[in-house]
């Protein structure tokens, strides 16, 4: 899932304080699961922002809250379309895609991000999320025993480990596992260490963000173009 965390209350307050009516919009998917932008977090932010505005003498600013099921898909924004008219600004507690989807749907309104979108990751422990995927567009997990060296090795080495691997930890910080130790351990357990005799090939970065904004097109699904 996409993992995000909330911007500081003062940063959000300062973004919206020039408006008179603001709608905080949460999202019911990834950011709900990572406890950044779901119903509860929108409620907490709403209370905090209203109090904060009142304390700086902007208590007349209306700050309301709602959550839609999925911000990154226009069909789900329908539920918001009528209500959105009542506000002059929207603060999204969705990921960067959600913020931009709202901005595209409401071209005449200010739309602000309430979250900092961090990465694609998974829950590691209660309250701890870890990055697992860099969305490089050319997945090579099959070559590396299903441990991503791009995301999890600090140097993004395809032929690791480097000399900074210390008892299974990365030299960057003692609480970060060395990705290449993980790759080695898993490959050994699977009996596929011989695969690492060969030098790993170069990565095609043209499929990553180096090639500019990306699109995925499934022609069999493009019904509209047939009409």
Tell me the closest approach of the beta carbon of residue 62 to another protein, in angstroms. Answer: 14
The DSSP annotation for the chain comes to -EEEEEPPHHHHHHHHTT-SEEEEEEESSHHHHTTSSSHHHHHHHHHHHHHHHHHTT-TT-EEEEEEES-TTSHHHHHHHHHHHTT-SEEEEES-HHHHHHHHHH-TTSEEEE-EEEEEEEEEEETTEEEEEE---SS--GGGTTT--HHHHSTT--SS---TT-BTTB-SS-TTSB-HHHHHHHHHHHHT-GGGGGSPPPPP-GGGTGGGSS-----GGG--GGG-
Tell me the closest approach of the beta carbon of residue 146 to another protein, in angstroms. Answer: 33
Q: Using the rule CB under 8 A, is 7 a contact of another protein? A: no
Q: Which stretch binds another protein (CB under 8 A): 40-48, 141-149, 165-173, 202-210?
A: 40-48
Residue number, 51 or 138, with CB nearest to another protein: 51
Q: Using the rule CB under 8 A, is 47 a contact of another protein? A: yes
Tell me the closest approach of the beta carbon of residue 36 to another protein, in angstroms. Answer: 13
**Number of chain positions touching another protein (CB under 8 A):** 13
Please pick, from the candidates 20, 55, 83, 193, the single residue that binds another protein as defined by CB under 8 A: 55
Q: Using the rule CB under 8 A, is 125 a contact of another protein? A: no
Residue number, 54 or 83, with CB nearest to another protein: 54
Which residues of this protein are in contact with another protein, per CB under 8 A? Answer: 8-10, 40, 43-44, 47-48, 50-52, 54-55
């Amino acid at each position: 899932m996409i993992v995000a965390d909330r911007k500081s209350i003062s940063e959000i307050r300062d973004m919206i304080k020039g408006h008179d009516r603001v709608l905080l919009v949460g999202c019911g998917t990834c950011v709900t699961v990572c406890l950044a932008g779901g119903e509860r977090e929108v409620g907490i932010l709403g209370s905090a922002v209203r109090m904060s505005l009142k304390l700086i003498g902007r208590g007349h600013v209306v700050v309301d809250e709602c959550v839609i099921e999925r911000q990154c898909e226009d069909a789900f924004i329908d539920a918001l379309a009528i209500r959105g008219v009542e506000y002059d600004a929207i603060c999204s507690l969705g990921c960067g895609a959600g913020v931009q989807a709202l901005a595209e749907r409401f071209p005449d309104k200010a739309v602000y991000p309430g979250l900092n979108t961090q990465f694609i990751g998974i829950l590691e422990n209660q309250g701890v999320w870890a990055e697992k995927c860099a969305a490089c567009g050319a997945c090579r997990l099959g070559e590396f025993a299903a441990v991503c060296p791009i995301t999890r090795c600090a140097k993004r080495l395809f032929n690791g480990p480097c000399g900074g691997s210390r008892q299974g930890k990365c030299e960057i910080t003692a609480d970060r596992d060395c990705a290449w130790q993980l790759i080695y351990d898993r490959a050994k357990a699977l009996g596929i260490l011989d695969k690492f005799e060969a030098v790993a090939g170069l990565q095609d970065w043209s499929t990553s963000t180096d090639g500019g904004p990306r699109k995925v097109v499934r022609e069999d699904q493009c019904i509209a173009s047939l009409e």
